[in-house]
Structure 1
Amino acid sequence: GWSQEELAEKVGVELRTIRRWEQGKGFPRPYARRKLSEVLGMSIPELGLVDEDENIAFVPDDEQEHEIPVLDDEQEHERFAHRSETETEIPITQVQGTVLRTYNAHSGWVLAVAWEPKGERIASAGGDGVARVWDASSGETCAVYRKHDWLSKKVNWPPAIHCVAWSPDGQYIASAGDGRKVYVWDAAKGETTAIYRGHTGMLPDVFALAWSPDSKYIASACSVGGIDKTIHEWDATSGHERHRYNASYGWMPHFSISAIAWSHDGTRLAAACGDKTIRLWDMTTGELKSTFQASSGWIYTIAWSSDDQRLALAHGNSTAEIIDAFTGQNMLTYRGHRDSVRDIAWSPDDKYLATASNDTAVKLWDAENANHIYTFEGHTSWTTSVAWSPDGTRIASASNDRTVRVWQAV
């Protein structure tokens, strides 16, 4: 690929202009869009830009036409491009694929991102051992959490927070990673309200968290490197353990849990296990109800559809799939990524799926027929996590390039 300096020379703009575009702080003019398309060998829509005619609005005013450009990030994404003498407001909607925000989030890899249920804030977790909360509109940092220091005190190894999750009621944030502890934070005050200490093992890296729909309980599990192969269910208020679920039966360390997800009705918990199975428990009885053999090997992420009838899986073989949540049968397979699919997320209305991959791309898919709709490009390293805004219009993505980006999705 081109460096920023080379791209600036090819397009005929200043280096700072290229940097502004990559940060989502500006929008290329028609000529620059055409040059970008030529240099990068991609169409204007594939680049997340629009054709010249779509980027302007014409408003009658004294029988003259005036070009009104789409507003950029510095103008706070104003919704109205022009006001005529009669005060008629002409709304201009964001174009699919537009980078609405770029957060220079962490000093290390960004490993997880989660959208607050109300849609006002975004949480991110990083390899720098910090969890951050951002204002989704202004981009300002609301809170910084720095409790994950267990491993760094034991060995010369920087801690990492692998997962972060909002409670469904939006009052709390759970975070976990390197070390045996899982923390629950008051989202408004930034104070620790509970700590869970039940995980064991030499390197007990907690890679998976899931809240119960009523926000009362949390399930957590260790992944690669963890000898603890059980899912722990515990009280989110007190940190007291309620139950353990044996999730993997192999003796090797890699036979562990990579992902867990609580069904929306609260009756089932799904786990993706290192022995290439998906296991489902009845949460009212604690019984293991189903075990499905994965068709495509390692599973990075598992996600329920809103009706709890289907499960979406992100695979290490560059595919994603939907399976029947009762039979485990494959329903659809999504192909198009060039490397491991690290995360997958349903849109709130279940019409779309978003995926994040080690190929640096975020992709949007039709959930009903597996058709590829759009590729969001801009990250410069692996994309590790994706999350939908509650209104289904935006996607947040986390990347090893140390940024979180917010995209116009639909």
Structure 2
Amino acid sequence: MASALYTPGAAVEQAHDDDIWHCSWIPGKHHLVTAGSDEVVKIWDAQTGDCIGTLKDNDYAITSLDINAQGTRILTSSMDNKMRIWNIDDALSRPGGDGGARKCKPALVVDSGPINAWKSRFVHQAGGGEARGSNSSAGLKEILASSTDSGTIKLWSGSDGREMRELSTSRRSFMYALAVSPDGTKAACAGVGSHIYVFDIESGALSCTFSGHSDNVRSVSFSADSTLLVTASDDKQVQLYDVRHGVAVTAFSGHHGWVLGAEIHPGGMYIASASLDTKVKVWDVGQRKCVETHGQHSSAAWSVAWQRSSDDVVAMKPMLASVGEDRSIHFYDPLLA
């Protein structure tokens, strides 16, 4: 279309040996990290489509993927009930290819216990230096958050794997989805049932609850400024909430299958979503409508991600990426966006 925001760019077919469930960008770089049911984490150069690094430590599917704000470490959760922190430099020293998926040692392995870390996220701590975490610091202090099958979020020490405390929704529901705000002050979770819970991390208090969906919630994600939350659900809707005031902003309808992932553009003007219907959609927040649909995937699209800025590099026109059940990665190049 003449007013296209994004155009399909490079594609990597058969990027993994099985379904790709997750994708996330390394801040400030053209590097995308992917993971899924084949137990391997891979790093890709979005400009060439080449695999430039791999990580593998076990033979269990990876249920969660996150990258810290500094772009130095990767956090994964796996079906063996363990969280793993990896140094990205270790992955980049292990290029793809026949020997690329050999097992290697994570920087830290946390045994969380059965279904205590289905999703896991880094908690960014403002204040700089050691508190924020630098993998070159002997006194590394990182906090990890994880979602459970019993309606709670657990907080862990990223330096020694010690469980610190728990945030409870008071409902024993499986929390499929977890997000931590970029400013490190809020955590949101959701899953079986239609409720979304937002906590103040410092106090542990439940700050607001949303119930706009009519079915299970698959994905929650904060905006770059930590003020908005976007959710994706089996009810085929994407919904947007203002977490400062605890109110619903709008709902987006148009997918013909479960919405499996959704994420807000770094500038806040668009939302991208991925669905069981194989489509990736771009929604205009101001116009409150779908402005673009992409059909590059041949089966379920599992995850979408906008390119991330870092403290040193601002992505003025961020790329978009999607991954799916068809084992492919698709990159979308910005035109007007």
TM-score normalized with structure 1 length: 0.68
Find the partner of 2:80 among 179, 188, 199: 179
Find the partner of 1:207 among 113, 118, 125: 118
Q: Which residue of 1 aligns with 2:144?
A: 218
Instruction: Tell me, yes or no, if the aligned pair for 2:227 and 2:242 is still in contact at 8 Å.
Output: yes
**Aligned 1:333-348 pairs, distance under 5 A:** 333-348=251-266
Find the partner of 2:90 among 183, 189, 192: 189
| AA of the residue aligned to 1:401 | D
Find the partner of 1:383 among 297, 301, 310: 301
Instruction: Tell me, yes or no, if the aligned pair for 2:23 and 2:304 is still in contact at 8 Å.
Output: yes
Instruction: Tell me, yes or no, if the aligned pair for 1:382 and 1:399 is still in contact at 8 Å.
Output: yes
Instruction: Tell me, yes or no, if the aligned pair for 2:155 and 2:163 is still in contact at 8 Å.
Output: yes
**Aligned: 1:163 with 2:68:** no
Q: Which residue of 1 aligns with 2:158?
A: 236
What CA distance in whole angstroms lies between the structure 1 residues aligned with 2:116 and 2:48? 33
Runs of 4+ in 1 over 6 A off after TM superposition: none
Instruction: Tell me, yes or no, if the aligned pair for 2:10 and 2:47 is still in contact at 8 Å.
Output: no
**Aligned 1:1-400 pairs, distance under 5 A:** 45=1, 96-149=6-59, 159-190=60-91, 191-200=105-114, 204=115, 206-214=117-125, 215=132, 216-222=142-148, 226=149, 228-250=150-172, 255-390=173-308, 391=315, 392-400=317-325
Instruction: Tell me, yes or no, if the aligned pair for 1:303 and 1:344 is still in contact at 8 Å.
Output: yes
Query: CA 1:192 to 1:361, structure 2 compared with 1: closer, same or farther past 3 Å?
Result: same
What is the CA deviation profile of residues 22-50 of structure 1, one whole-angstrom value per residue up to 9, with x for unaligned ones? xxxxxxxxxxxxxxxxxxxxxxx3xxxx7
Matched position secondary structure for 1:118: coil
RMSD: 2.2
What CA distance in whole angstroms lies between the structure 2 residues aligned with 1:299 and 1:380? 23
The aligned length equals: 300
Q: Which residue of 1 aligns with 2:330?
A: 405
Runs of 5+ in structure 1 lacking a partner?
1-44, 52-93, 150-158
Instruction: Tell me, yes or no, if the aligned pair for 2:169 and 2:206 is still in contact at 8 Å.
Output: no
What CA distance in whole angstroms lies between the structure 1 residues aligned with 2:293 and 2:210? 31
| AA of the residue aligned to 1:97 | T
| AA of the residue aligned to 2:12 | T
Taking only the aligned residue pairs, the percentage that are identical comes to: 24
| AA of the residue aligned to 1:182 | M
Instruction: Tell me, yes or no, if the aligned pair for 1:332 and 1:369 is still in contact at 8 Å.
Output: no
Instruction: Tell me, yes or no, if the aligned pair for 2:116 and 2:146 is still in contact at 8 Å.
Output: no
Runs of 5+ in structure 2 lacking a partner?
92-104, 126-131, 133-141, 309-314
| AA of the residue aligned to 2:76 | S
What CA distance in whole angstroms lies between the structure 2 residues aligned with 1:209 and 1:281? 15
Please state how far the C-alpha of 1:327 moved relative to its aligned partner: 4.6
Please state how far the C-alpha of 1:329 moved relative to its aligned partner: 2.9
- Greater Cα shift, 347-356 or 237-246: 237-246
Matched position secondary structure for 1:192: coil
- Greater Cα shift, 291-300 or 111-120: 291-300
Q: Which residue of 2 aligns with 1:35?
A: none
What CA distance in whole angstroms lies between the structure 1 residues aligned with 2:204 and 2:116? 24
| AA of the residue aligned to 1:120 | H
TM-score normalized with structure 2 length: 0.82
Instruction: Tell me, yes or no, if the aligned pair for 2:11 and 2:328 is still in contact at 8 Å.
Output: no
